[in-house]
């Protein structure tokens, strides 16, 4: 519960763009998650900066969320302020660079699929790998989202972030370290990705559309995209040992704890079959980890970010 004076401050800043005690199940693709004390959607960067500075001043935790497609929010929910950038979304800008490519600049609250669609429409190569990845550009960059055909770090040219003290700072790509499903910045403390510049190359539009159709067909055939999930739950321990294959070989396809289930189509997808709780998902994940460890001696690490009070 947030103190009345804090609620008042937030209402004054954001009016109806702040929700109190908001069930996060309404804001995550798993449809799971307890209440956020305050869920804020600032509509300008200035409001966001004021919010970041105020939470710091008050010692309140600040959690940044995109579309919630790669998170598991705990049943107790999120303390402090949770902030989404979707209301700040501005137009996607295209400018030619000096290397024969095109720089696509967009705000972090824009959906990744919009960047993919713009690239396809304009005949720009580089973003097709991300077709079908749900969520925002900020989330995709933070997670260095990708597939076997590419990852965000391959196309990222620069990033503008808001530091914990509320200052906007631009980082060219060479200052960022790309890891497996993570991007590391030379910065201490929590940061908010504000904007990204993506470098793409002109290419045959027909070739791009053909590739897009092929990749989307493959995704739909191999993933339970229509079920509430957070995508792949575990990281692949090695390229030749995908977590889905290990979970399948450990005999866990279809395993369940309550309404939390392992998909039969793709064993690295845990989905919510109705009224699953975060506790059930975590218990199922633990059973999977134990079984894979027993069968192969491999310890699976979650790819999904677990957020909230435990
Ligand atoms: C059906 C399905 C398929 C998927 N397929 C793929 C896939 O092929 N490849 C893949 O990599 N992922 C995949 N995912 C996972 C997920 O969609 C991606 O990781 C996505 O990029 C996350 O974006 P988001 O906006 O939803 O981020 P969220 O889930 O909201 O957040 C993810 C993390 O990023 C942080 N974050 C979000 N925005 C910001 C910001 N502006 N500044 C700082 N930190 C931020 C959050 O705090 C959190 O730690 C899939 C998910 C689903 C449901």
DSSP 154-166: HHEEEEEEE-TTS
Active-site residue 286, yes or no?
A: no
d(CA 18, CA 11): 7
Tell me which residue has its CA closest to atom 9 in ligand 1: 146
Nearest CA to 128 out of 221, 212, 222 is that of: 212
Q: Which two tokens stand for residue 2?
A: 């947030």
State the fold for domain 224-307.
3.90.78
Per the CB < 8 A criterion, the answer to whether 177 and 156 are in contact is no
Residues above pLDDT 90, as percent of the chain: 95
Asked if residue 34 lies in contact with residue 73, where contact means CB atoms within 8 angstroms, the answer is yes
pLDDT computed for residue 190 by the predictor: 84
Of the pLDDT bands very low, low, confident and very high (cuts 50, 70, 90), residue 288 is very high
**Rounded mean pLDDT, 23-29:** 98
Of residues 143, 147, 172, 137, the one with CA closest to residue 305: 143
In this prediction, residues 279-304 reach a mean pLDDT of 98
Question: Which CATH number does the domain 4-87 belong to among 1.10.1240.10, 3.40.50.2000, 3.40.50.720, 3.30.43.10?
Answer: 3.30.43.10
CATH architecture of 90-220: 2-Layer Sandwich (3.30)
Separation between Cα atoms, residue 33 and residue 17, nearest integer Å: 20
Give the model's pLDDT for residue 1: 79
Q: Whole-angstrom Cα distance, residue 115 to residue 105?
A: 9
303 is a catalytic site residue: yes
Confidence of residue 152 (pLDDT cuts 50, 70, 90): very high
Measured in degrees and rounded to the nearest 5, phi and psi for residue 247 equal: -65, -40
Out of 145, 155, 229, give the residue to mutate to test ligand 1, the one with the largest number of ligand atoms within 8 Å of its CB.
145
Domain spans, the chain: 4-87, 90-220, 224-307
Q: Can you give the pTM of this predicted structure?
A: 0.96
Model confidence pLDDT, tens digit, residues 240-266 = 999 999 999 999 999 999 999 999 999
- Is the pLDDT at 81 greater than 90? The verdict is yes
Q: Which atom of ligand 1 is nearest to the CA of 71?
A: 29
What digits encode the pLDDT tens for the residues 182-202? 999 998 888 999 999 999 999
Q: In whole angstroms, what is the distance from residue 55 CA to residue 79 CA?
A: 12
Residue 123 three-state SS: coil
Tell me the average pLDDT across 154-181.
95
């Amino acid at each position: 519960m947030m103190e009345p004076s804090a609620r008042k401050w937030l209402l004054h800043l954001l009016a109806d763009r702040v929700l109190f005690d908001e069930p996060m199940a309404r804001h995550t693709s798993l449809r799971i998650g307890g209440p956020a004390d305050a869920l804020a959607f600032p509509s300008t960067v200035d409001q966001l900066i004021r919010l970041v500075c105020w939470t710091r001043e008050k010692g309140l935790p600040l959690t940044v969320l995109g579309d919630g497609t790669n998170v598991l929010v705990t049943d107790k929910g999120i303390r402090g302020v949770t902030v989404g950038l979707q209301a700040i979304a501005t137009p996607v800008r295209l400018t030619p660079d000096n290397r024969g490519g095109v720089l696509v600049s967009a705000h972090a609250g824009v959906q990744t699929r919009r960047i993919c669609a713009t690239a396809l429409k304009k005949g720009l190569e580089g973003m097709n790998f991300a077709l079908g990845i749900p969520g925002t550009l900020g989330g995709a960059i933070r997670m260095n989202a990708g597939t076997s055909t590419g990852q965000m770090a391959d196309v990222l040219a620069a990033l503008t972030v808001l530091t914990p003290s509320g200052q906007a700072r631009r980082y060219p790509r060479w200052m960022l370290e790309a890891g497996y499903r993570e991007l590391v910045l030379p910065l201490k403390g929590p940061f908010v990705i504000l904007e990204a510049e993506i470098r793409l190359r002109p290419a045959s539009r027909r070739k791009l559309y053909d590739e897009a159709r092929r990749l989307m067909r493959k995704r739909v055939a191999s993933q339970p995209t229509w079920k509430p999930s957070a995508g792949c739950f575990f990281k692949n321990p090695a390229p030749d040992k995908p977590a889905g294959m290990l979970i399948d070989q450990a005999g866990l396809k279809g395993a369940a704890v309550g309404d939390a289930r392992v998909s039969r189509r793709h064993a690295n997808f845990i989905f919510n079959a109705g009224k699953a709780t975060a506790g059930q998902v975590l218990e199922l994940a633990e059973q999977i980890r134990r079984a894979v460890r027993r069968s192969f001696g491999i310890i699976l690490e979650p790819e999904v970010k677990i957020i909230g009070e435990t």
